[in-house]
Amino acid sequence: MELRRVVVTGLGAITPLGKTAKETWSSLTSGKSGSAMITLFDASKFKTRFACEVKDFIATDYFDRKTARKLDRYAQFALIAADEAIQDSGLDLEVINKDKAGVIWASGIGGLTTFLEEVINFTKGDGTPRFSPFFIPKMISDIAAGHISIKYGLRGPNFGTVSACASSTNALIDAYTYISLGKADVFVAGGSEASINQPGMGGFNSMQALSTNNDEFETASRPFCKTRDGFVMGEGGASIILEEYEHAVKRGATIYAELIGGGMSADAYHLTAPHPEGNGATMVMKNAIEDAQIKPEDIDYINVHGTATPLGDLSETQAIEKVFGEHAYNLNISSTKSMTGHLLGAAGAMEAMVAIMSIKDGIVPPSMHIKELDGRINPKLNLTVGKAQKRDVKVALSNTFGFGGHNASVIFRKL
């Protein structure tokens, strides 16, 4: 069968760098850091006392008090990002076929804060089980997709994807596949996360995954740097409206870019560590390129997973050299996690948005805070260090890799 084309017609975001997609993109191209000392709880006894929080977020600015109480912070971010993306797309929800409009929304962890609060309340009591009737609906990772579907009456495919830090890239790939096959015309796809809390920070600290550079917290997220010591926790949400090409053209939609391919693979190696030779990362980029029916040298920019972990950054750069050969040195490469921190399950949608905007505006955002390049990383790679670079980006690729060895990549093209 002939597959249908899929395009991007709307963007939305709430991140450590801005309350909208536009604000976030402006901060990224300016090289702004979203890292600050934690305000969401008392982190004074934690190894890591900083993170990339969404700044000055007040739920009742977006929801009435009753509604806000029924939503975990991660679901609040989901609804906010989705609403912006739908408004940006110009979709007329009174006209489109809602049976062919769906929601695929990702969260790697879901309502961790809700779980924490309910357990604390229980342990403070006399053992009598007194739990909120909203406990489970607030906590589960799929509920954000349900909330978006209910709010807008979207009756198409509706579910959540969970693959750790690759979760929202998998959401985009699933939406792309359903539209390509004619099972839907429009998707609200993306991801959100809100795990800057005691178990989130404590759990990642115990794994030695987080940076503990409390003295230099603003620049602690330093992918590719010799002194990197782990990722910086981030939070927020990002939403992308994916739409069948003819459907978008017929209604006169503004098209940001075309989603032309997605790849998936598994390291099948270790719970948390990447394959030391980057085998899974190599395979996922090759799979995405094959799916997009392009050549490696067609790609201009890669938004890398680039978490600033000692093993991850090295294996990803090695994989890029394997896949692209000499063309690897003609690419622009950058890790925007150096500014946003790691949004976990929301990272894929957030960074896909970056790839899309790099195509639209012809700007590659930088990798920040690299004081000295890791000597094991090839200096011939253009890591877009220190400031944004202008480039006519025709094709951009975004990588995401998750605990469990989950790898997912997406490729966008200028129309």
**Residues catalogued as catalytic:** 165, 305, 342
> How far apart, in whole angstroms, are the C-alpha atoms of residue 29 and residue 388?
6
Query: Do 50 and 44 meet the contact criterion of CB atoms below 8 Å apart?
Result: no
Query: Do 52 and 235 meet the contact criterion of CB atoms below 8 Å apart?
Result: yes
Number of Cβ within 10 Å of residue 415's Cβ equals 12
Three-class secondary structure of residue 285 per DSSP: helix
> How far apart, in whole angstroms, are the C-alpha atoms of residue 317 and residue 377?
7
Residue 216 vs residues 7, 33, 37, 211, 372: alpha-carbon distances, Å:
41, 12, 10, 10, 15
Number of Cβ within 10 Å of residue 131's Cβ equals 11
Query: Do 164 and 406 meet the contact criterion of CB atoms below 8 Å apart?
Result: yes
Tokens 């609804």 locate to: 79
**Alpha-helical segments (H) within 346-393:** 347-361
CA contacts within 13 A on the Cβ side of 222: 19
Burial grade of 112 (CB within 10 A; 0-12, 13-18, 19 or more): buried
> How far apart, in whole angstroms, are the C-alpha atoms of residue 295 and residue 323?
10
Q: Nearest-CA neighbor of 310 among 378, 247, 225, 379?
A: 225
